[in-house]
Structure 1
Amino acid sequence: RKAVNFFSVPDGHRIWARRARKTADAIVVRHGIQVVLTSSAPYSAHLIGMYLQKKHPGLGWVADFRDPMSTHRGLVTIRRPPGWLGALRACERRILEAADRVIPNTPMNRRELMRLFGLPGGKATAIPNGYDPEMLPEPGVRRGQSGKLELFYIGGLRGDWFEGPFYEALAILKQQAPDLAGLLSVNFVGADAIIGSKAEDLCVAEDIRMHGFVGQEAVGEFYTQAEAFLLILPSHDTALGWVPQKLYAYLHCRKPVLAVVPEGQVADYVRRSESGVVVSPADSEEIAKALRDMLETFAREGRLDLTRSQQAEEFVGTLSKPHLASEMLKMFRQLVDDKTSGFPGPGSSDPICG
């Protein structure tokens, strides 16, 4: 299995995709399917779409990428055989050229696809991962306040290369404004322990409460307890189009977000939604200043309120899953209309990558 994952293009699920083609074809024939949606990961799912499109020329095919493929941030840390990345990019090109429509998961990833592969603008439509309002508390709800500024980070930890600048900022805050630092309660939800040694070395590990991995219902309670949210991304080019799922939930909850991120898609979303402050992960002093500003407001007013313009609220509404599903449905209907009216679409004679 490890050897298959190591050498396979686009991924180790390629054998599954080949076996699944027969089942998918039977479903298309039996139900008179007009549009097929393939969604990755795994990226091998798109090979099924290529196969079906070749076998049924009138079939519409939408290739949905919930994460980038050959430009995925994780590829920088994965060891692969020589030439593998080039083969992956060639496979991605064939998928993009063959599909009738392509869905990247952020506007920045859409622009990157257009730049790298020369996709026409009308072929690719960004549809973010978004948030499900039915699985989250009502915006602005607070419960169980402790008298401290409860700052919550929801999600897994990655180590000092990722969270290190925030630990440095905590140390600076404790040194420069110890009284204000005493009002801050930092909460990490989704990990049992800090990864790396920097927090211990800087004597801030004891200031962070670890809540471990919890279920969806418990996460909802943490969203209501939060006075503000923390989001961290590294200073790396591969992080520019990366939008962690937690951000969409943060924006829905209508509480301030401290976004320790590089200039990129997350920074754009936070600013467009008027939901907080963006600080570079390369500047621990500025992160400490942002924390201090939040704490001074909290000390003065006893809470942090977030007021957004109508335009910002409308933008956040466009990130809800019901809205995004309706946009995807419009795409499917338009594609069916194009196919039935004889509108020419891109095609490919190569059903398998590699």
Structure 2
Amino acid sequence: MPRSSLRPHHPRARILSEMCAEFGIEPVSDGFDADQVEVTGAVSAADGVEEGDIYVAAPRWVDAPGEAFATAVERGASCILTDASLAPYAEGLDVPVLVVEDARLALGHIAQWVYRTDPKTPRLIGVTGSLGKTSIVYLLDNLLDALGVKTGMSTNRQRHVGEERMDAGGLAPEADELHAMLARMREVGVHVAAVELTDEAVSEHHIAGLYFDVVGYPDAGTALEGGAAARFEASVQLFAPEHAQRGVVNVDGEMGRRLVEETRIPVTTIASAAGEGADWWVESEPLDEGIRFTMHGPEDRELRSWTSQEGPYAAINAGSAVLMLDSAGWDVEQIQAALDRVDGIHLAAEGSAAPESRGSA
């Protein structure tokens, strides 16, 4: 079954010869005039190809390359880009074939060029780590809505651009899907998006061609061994000036404290108790419904509100989301006023915005 996507409704065609010149590649197949081939999209799933797309195939994505190439051409692919290991399966196709050393790495940059996405527009806020990623992305989306901001969002559960929504099916988006989303955001006037980032976001090139205004690390983990160590190193890669401008880090655990030491970007720190040396700390009070929380910051700054989420991490997750928006330019006092207007943070059980607020929006 084809994987659904959010992509521009009015793409502007690119010319294959211009793409080849931009990236220094040439079709390996003869008999095609690259000046006459138009490219209107970039796709990494053969069954998601639309008319005019360049289909980008890497070994890890393709189980039966011959079938995948045939499917892509049948669905209207205008050309194919792959690596040397898969190129033999593309011989004899009725479209130009291009070969690069690393198709997975090329995907994000090709998609960025095809869709004309700007690495810094819309503004992107990313969340990584082992725990809390999805919850905080939903919190960010909810808070931005309270601030009156039209948003985009991507989690492994759901994605949306404004009012357009799709089920993500538990799958992290590939780079082409993110760039297509950004192009659609540009069409409908979305200027900021929150994105859940897996451990492989950098190493597997999911964010190639993207740049994050703020990245967050909510993980309170303490073990730096085995798989946790590998995930931590992936986070260190993300918290770098090549990928992000600034960050917010939970320092309740050893991994967060280590990340603060190793990052090369400015970060704001948060903890769930006073005395941890964090810039901000959060106290909470469980209620019959939800949790009341108070954030304490430098120079006696505070934020007091309520969240419908429950559990041991609800308050610090809410606080992390607030600080990520503060770092992105919506100060804590502005967020406090917005939360007062809507009477707190209202999330449905699955994390999405609740259909009704407890107060007047």
Report the TM-score, using the length of structure 1 for normalisation. Answer: 0.29
Where relative contact order (Cα < 8 A, 6+ residues apart) is larger, the structure is 1
Structure with higher helix content: 1
Structure with higher strand content: 2
